[in-house]
Amino acid sequence: MADPPDRPAAAPDELEIRAAWRRDDPRIEADAIAFWERLGLLPPGTSPEQRAKELIAVAYRGDRLVAVSTATIEWFEHLRARFAVLRGATDPEHRRSRAQLALAMPSRDALERWALDHPEEKLAGGLAFVETGEWGDFARLPVWPQSDLALVGYTKDGRQVRAAWFDHYRLD
């Protein structure tokens, strides 16, 4: 996960995961902004520059960024704790090649390390609102591999709510 500046690009068919959480890495941010703009993946009104500050980790194939995970930290009233609300997107040409699965554990680790270093943030874990149609049978798994996101309920509009608590976090 460390990113020495002179590292060679990964082989074109290999996924390389790079950490981005709270690093303000200009190269990764610029690549992510180009990714969102090229693919039109951001909802209208969302600033790519702002979303770039929410990057947790990214996946490259060769020198092309092909997938991102991002998070905003939000109070989640139903579980009465602050969570990193996770979002993921993969370049359509690179979907179903396990890019999101590859991002899941490094993303969780990066957030957990940061939470341990910033106890004042009281970050309890990760949370995802999942469009079940995007994930096929994967959405039927009670606990997702790599991310440990467990199904905790459904929103009124039918999305799954999935949560993974950090082991170090203690309820108030």
Ligand X SMILES: CC(C)(COP(=O)(O)OP(=O)(O)OC[C@H]1O[C@@H](n2cnc3c(N)ncnc32)[C@H](O)[C@@H]1OP(=O)(O)O)[C@@H](O)C(=O)NCCC(=O)NCCS
Residues near ligand X, by CB under 6 A: 67, 88-90, 95-101, 130-131, 134-136, 138
Q: What is the smallest separation between the CB atom of 166 and ligand X, expressed in angstroms?
A: 21
Judged by beta carbon, residue 132 or residue 169, the one nearer ligand X is 132
Instruction: Tell me 95's DSSP state.
Output: T
Considering the complex, state which of residue 116 and residue 141 has its C-beta at the smaller distance from ligand X.
Answer: 141
Q: What is the dihedral of CA 36, 40, 44, 49, to 10 degrees?
A: 20
Q: Which of 57, 59, 32 is closest to 108 using CA atoms? A: 57
- For 105, phi and psi rounded to 5 degrees? -70, -45
Cα–Cα distances in Å, from 109 out to 88, 91, 141, 148?
A: 16, 23, 21, 11
Q: Closer to ligand X by CB, 59 or 124: give it.
A: 59
Minimum Å gap between C-beta 138 and ligand X is 4
CB of residue 102 vs ligand X: minimum separation in angstroms? 7
The residue number with the shortest CB distance to ligand X is: 136
